[in-house]
Amino acid sequence: MAGTSAGIVAGLTAAAVGTVGFLAYQASATVPAGLGDKPRASASLLAKAPRDRRNPTALPAVSGSGERVVYSVDDDRVWLVGEHNQVVRTFKVKPGRVDPYPGAYVVTSRSHAVTGTDGVPVEHVVRFTSVDDVAIGFSAAVNPDLTPAPDPAVRTGGIRETRTDGQAMWMFGTIGVPVVVVR
């Protein structure tokens, strides 16, 4: 009887793995054109974006145009930019251990609430790329007071915001919204 149970479990496991693989293939096959592409990096994005020295929170001049999210890797700052290049909101963030490359991306997926790669429950996750199989995106810790110190051995791509800023990003950063990463 024990051999039969083990065989049934093995069969169910194989069927589950096959189903997950099929669903993953199906999901990747239905990604709209351009969403899964590598970033387009112009020479202006690869260099340190010029800043207004009198106003360090000013939008970097070489961050594109139109509605977009702008993220400065060097300044750990995000700008939510609406129509006519008007900054709707800007805020500081705490990056993960893996930075996105400078370039132009789009929001590719979102999750209301998940557990981050560091084991911390997060909400309002807005993803836009991956680097070496590490997902990169914005998120807010559900309970920042209980967040442990980062483990230097864990490669994380979560760019952490406050819960208030995370809510603003969630409302702004819908699927397909451009994300521009600058130095």
- So where are the chain's domains? 1-30, 34-182
Q: Residue 87: its pLDDT value, please?
A: 96
179 contacts 69 by C-beta, under 8 angstroms: yes
Superfamily of domain 34-182: L,D-transpeptidase catalytic domain-like (2.40.440.10)
Q: Residue 88: its pLDDT value, please?
A: 96
Q: Residue 168: its pLDDT value, please?
A: 98
Q: Residue 7: its pLDDT value, please?
A: 52
Q: Residue 26: its pLDDT value, please?
A: 44
178-182 sheet: strands from edge to edge: 87-92, 77-81, 68-72, 178-182, 103-106
Q: Residue 91: its pLDDT value, please?
A: 97
Q: Does pTM top 0.85 for this prediction?
A: no
Average pLDDT of adjacent 10-residue blocks, the chain of 183 residues: 52 42 40 48 51 80 93 95 95 95 97 92 97 96 83 90 97 98 94
129 contacts 100 by C-beta, under 8 angstroms: yes
DSSP type of residue 12 = H
DSSP labels for 88-147?
A: EEEEE-B--SSPPPSEEEE--EEEEEEE-TTS-EEEEEEEEEEETTEEEEEEEESSGGGP
97 contacts 73 by C-beta, under 8 angstroms: no
134-141 sheet: strands from edge to edge: 109-115, 121-131, 134-141, 158-161
As given in the structure block, the two tokens for residue 108 are 């590719």
Mention every residue, 6+ apart, whose C-beta is less than 8 A from residue 79.
Answer: 59, 60, 63, 69, 70, 87, 89, 90
DSSP type of residue 154 = S
